[in-house]
Structure 1
């Protein structure tokens, strides 16, 4: 990572554990300071301590991005900094349910986290990067965005939105030397996936490690607009093929096995 391009500060939304923690550690090794945003205070403090131990500075914001005041709090904590890199790693699936019988408020939270909050941060930090004519925006996506899935239909849809948004933003900012990349994750051994009870030990399942994913994303930040992490390019292509019905049903059965039925 080039500090003169992506530094001296990075903002990492979802920067306390898993892939977000790996991003912060790798950036610290490159001499880039981090503002870490997450909800869980203990992992947040631990990651900040690791960043400082590597010789970089760290600021922490214990914050829920669904809070209407979140952007104001982030601005207050970063307006005195030169932020050269935004990593949006906070777009988890917060609600899984059949759409027509689900809770509309919980469904709206999935949209607000993955779309509204992401757009707000990209807009805020992206404008300053454009004016400085340098920087990078890395949006963490999901293979879920390549195909509709039962009980996470809205999550799959917002992840598809994120990928298309990254492509358009990449076009808009490339002439200003601001790099935009959506890093599309497959199954990754993160604390969030483990808490969700995913069966990561299934035979033949290709599980990526957080540090490998973070390294790949940072190394290919200038190679936007989209990077499929962990060698999942062929799987992504298959999910985009037509006719769709058979592929959607096959992916549905694979997902049921992953979550234990």
Structure 2
């Protein structure tokens, strides 16, 4: 099955205005996939949509939506309409604060949780359900290595990314028998405008070893059929600095899935 047949004819890219989201949209359009581009800022979305139409001849629509708002999911569904979505990419979700938990108003953390967790869960449920009915499609959650443990200045961020990782693992086990691929793409430091703004605000230099957004998008789409985890910069069986390799986590999920069948039955 071709990429377009598996993950088309439409993809929803949440967080498409810059950085890795923009790179995902360009890569998808090059494969002939039509794109629903979502982010807060309309101007960069419009420019990207015009570029993809002109360069690849695909159809693109844009929707200016704040994913941290309670109505984000409803507005995404409204924007998509009756279009058949074969791929949902949850790409938005960085932490713009970089402060300790108590040094930020709690509503700021609730917004981060809504963006990283609640909106992503609702979209995965909605689009994943339609994919299961068709027997094809993919869900790609772009995350961070922060998912592997909490740390100073990252309490809510790492917690939200850990949730997304476990969600992806569970959905991978549940949807794999139905032909739907699920991947959590765990990133390290990536050269995005958001990271550069953060470093400038903190007076920090730009590291020389940053991953490019294009490399992230290429790897994420390449590894989508091989979920549930891909750690950027590491081979599937490489542990590196992490507690487990992607292959080891896959084996763990498979073992738990088999054990749970005795309790819940096979669905």
TM range (shorter): 0.7 to 0.9
1:172-183 matched pairs, under 5 angstroms? 172-183=174-185
Q: Deviations over 1:63-114 (max 9, x none)?
A: 1012222222111121210000000001111433222343111111111111
- The question of 1:99 aligning with 2:97 is answered no
1:128-207 matched pairs, under 5 angstroms? 128-197=130-199, 199=204, 201-202=206-207, 206-207=209-210
Q: Distance in 1 between matches of 2:179 and 2:143?
A: 22
Residue 219 of structure 2 corresponds to which residue in structure 1?
216
Q: Deviations over 1:15-54 (max 9, x none)?
A: 1111111111111111100000001122211211121112
1:246-257 matched pairs, under 5 angstroms? none
Residue 4 of structure 2 corresponds to which residue in structure 1?
3
8 Å CA contact retained: 2:16, 2:39 = yes
Residue 254 of structure 1 corresponds to which residue in structure 2?
none
Residue 43 of structure 1 corresponds to which residue in structure 2?
44
1:234–1:175 Cα change, 3 Å: closer
Question: Aligned with 1:118: secondary structure?
Answer: helix
Q: Distance in 1 between matches of 2:48 and 2:238?
A: 33
Residue 121 of structure 1 corresponds to which residue in structure 2?
123
1:200–1:179 Cα change, 3 Å: farther
- The question of 1:23 aligning with 2:21 is answered no
Residue 256 of structure 1 corresponds to which residue in structure 2?
none
The answer for unaligned runs of 5 or more in structure 2 is: 245-267
TM-score by length of 2: 0.84
Residue 61 of structure 1 corresponds to which residue in structure 2?
63
Q: Distance in 2 between matches of 1:52 and 1:142?
A: 31
8 Å CA contact retained: 1:180, 1:224 = yes
TM-score by length of 1: 0.86
Give RMSD over aligned pairs: 1.9
1:152–1:3 Cα change, 3 Å: same
1:113–1:87 Cα change, 3 Å: same
Q: Distance in 2 between matches of 1:46 and 1:235?
A: 39
Q: Structure 2 residue aligned with 1:226, among 206, 225, 229?
A: 229
8 Å CA contact retained: 2:96, 2:198 = no
The answer for unaligned runs of 5 or more in structure 1 is: 242-261
Question: Aligned with 1:75: secondary structure?
Answer: helix
1:109–1:231 Cα change, 3 Å: same
Moved more, 91-100 or 42-51: 91-100
- The question of 1:34 aligning with 2:43 is answered no
Q: Distance in 2 between matches of 1:38 and 1:217?
A: 20
Deviation at 1:238, TM superposition (A): 2.4
Q: How many residues align?
A: 239
